[in-house]
Amino acid sequence: MAPSRPNITLSLLAVAFACMMYVPLSRLTPAYAFFAFSYLVLFNYSIFSIAIRLKKIVSILLPVIFCMSLVGAYLYTFLNIKISDNLLFLLLETTTGEANEALTPGFILSIVTALALSIAAHIGIKKCETPPKLKWPIILLLLLIPINIALSKFSKHPIAKQLRPAIATKYAFPFCVIDSVANFSIRWVQYKTRPKPQSSALLESEYVFQKQSDPLTLIFIIGESARADHFQINGYGRNTTPRLSKEKNVITYGGIKSFAAMTRVSVPAMLTPATSKKPNIKTNSFLDLFVKYGFSTAWISANSRVAYSSDMPTTRIMGNAQQTIFRNDFTTADYSEFRDEMMVPVVQKVLASTQGNRVIVVHTRGSHFNYSTKYSAKYRTFTPDKYKSYSNLGTVINAYDNSIIATDGFLANVYDMVKEQNALVIYSSDHGESLGEDGIFMHGNDKRPEQRNVPFIVWYSDKYAELNPTYVAALKDQVGKRLSHDVLFPWTVNLGGITLKNTSLPVLIAN
């Protein structure tokens, strides 16, 4: 193997990392872009020139970071998804089915290219003989680091506002990858060592419903990636809610603000007393509280039961779910074949097997990408709906809207099952979805309003209205108010007849 000059390999890598910042660089004026690009190349080169002294470690680590950065750059450039510790958590908890659906040809190509280039980088670094002299890299860093510090210190200054997204180490490859992995590691340790949430049964409360002639059935449906403004009953121009539009006992609250833009963060908060002001999950889901007052409880999930399920953010707050039914318990359909409607007979079975007051949580698949695999032929209303990339926006939205129609059908099927009973069905989505706004797709970015604008729909049976008119009136009173996921826990327990005492939660029915 002929030795190569380290300057060439390291320079190539420095330039490659700088090129990965194409998106923020392209937003700058030519003069700023030139400055930022030069800054990135010189900064990267200086760091690599110093680090190469630990050649054995660098020859492994740098190609690994290079590979991760390339994949991250693909996500950033084409899908506007930024590398973060949250994204790493998401990848860790993504099921193989979800991963298969995210693997578009472009994404697969980016991974293969990233691997090939990383191997080339590894060979290149191994061939480096004598490291570059220390003097220049150190002088350069002494000049460059203060610029970065100044930009973060005066982050509100117009120049900093422009340059920071391109050159701040927090955002620029490869440092954003290192930063994300470091934060992820810290949070992972915290996550693994966190105390178990306490039982919601310990909350001060009182059961206030009189013994009713008909036991209460309360069904809480967790939606997925559904945005409120794509529901016709919320004013959307397309007929995406043909069934709900015909239901007389449906109350829709338009768009309410989701707790977060990610399932793993939002779902636990939806079912527990965590709020946007007190976001830590300290208490488990409302199921424990209902069990305390004699309700039977069940949890039905479109997700498969996994060996470490008690450790997932959602399942660790399940609490006292007396029946837990996961996808692989009732169907052999794999991820891409699964439709929410397959849970209708499961809900039916749970209803048939329980008596007395009961609460059922149903965690759906809703409108999770890839949208066109989330509905069966009967809900395929808007066509064409088969897309391979996100460039054909109309097709993507057709598929997304069809998935909302499937949700409409699922909700209506559940209503039909309990129509003659004393029953309530509460539905809200965990987060929304970007559908091409500013070139952004999918979810995971808390700052995007369309990813935080979720439907909240309550349906009640005639019997429930007859037995609890003040509760239905209280529900109607809240229409038009600015609401958020914060209300889901207190309202659900209220509507089930439980009054919380000494609470700061936004209750529906006060003590």
Nearer to Zn ion, 396 or 442 (CB): 442
H/E stretch holding 362 reads strand 358-363
CA neighbor of 415 nearest in space, from 278, 221, 161: 221
Residue 13 has, within 13 A of its CA and on its CB side, a CA count of 33
Minimum Å gap between C-beta 506 and Zn ion is 23
Q: Assess contact for 282 and 198: CB atoms under 8 A.
A: yes
Minimum Å gap between C-beta 259 and Zn ion is 11
Nearer to Zn ion, 243 or 365 (CB): 365
Minimum Å gap between C-beta 263 and Zn ion is 3
Q: Crossing angle for the helix pair 263-271 and 85-93, nearest 10 degrees?
A: 80
Minimum Å gap between C-beta 424 and Zn ion is 23
Minimum Å gap between C-beta 429 and Zn ion is 8
Cα separation, 269 vs 193, whole angstroms: 19
Nearer to Zn ion, 219 or 265 (CB): 265
Minimum Å gap between C-beta 278 and Zn ion is 22
Cα separation, 273 vs 296, whole angstroms: 20
Nearer to Zn ion, 172 or 222 (CB): 222
Residue 260 has, within 13 A of its CA and on its CB side, a CA count of 16
CB-based contacts of 203: which residues, under 8 Å, 6+ apart?
A: 273, 283, 289, 500, 503
Minimum Å gap between C-beta 207 and Zn ion is 32
Nearer to Zn ion, 94 or 391 (CB): 94
* Number of other residues whose CB lies within 10 A of the CB of residue 180: 20
Looking up tokens 């309360």 gives: 218
Distance, CA of 497 to chain centre? 31
DSSP 378: G
Minimum Å gap between C-beta 368 and Zn ion is 6
Cα separation, 137 vs 142, whole angstroms: 9
Nearer to Zn ion, 224 or 401 (CB): 224
| DSSP secondary structure string for all residues of 281-296 | --B--THHHHHHTT-E
- Footprint of Zn ion (CB under 5 A): 224, 263, 430
Q: Assess contact for 392 and 326: CB atoms under 8 A.
A: no
Nearer to Zn ion, 224 or 340 (CB): 224
Nearer to Zn ion, 263 or 297 (CB): 263
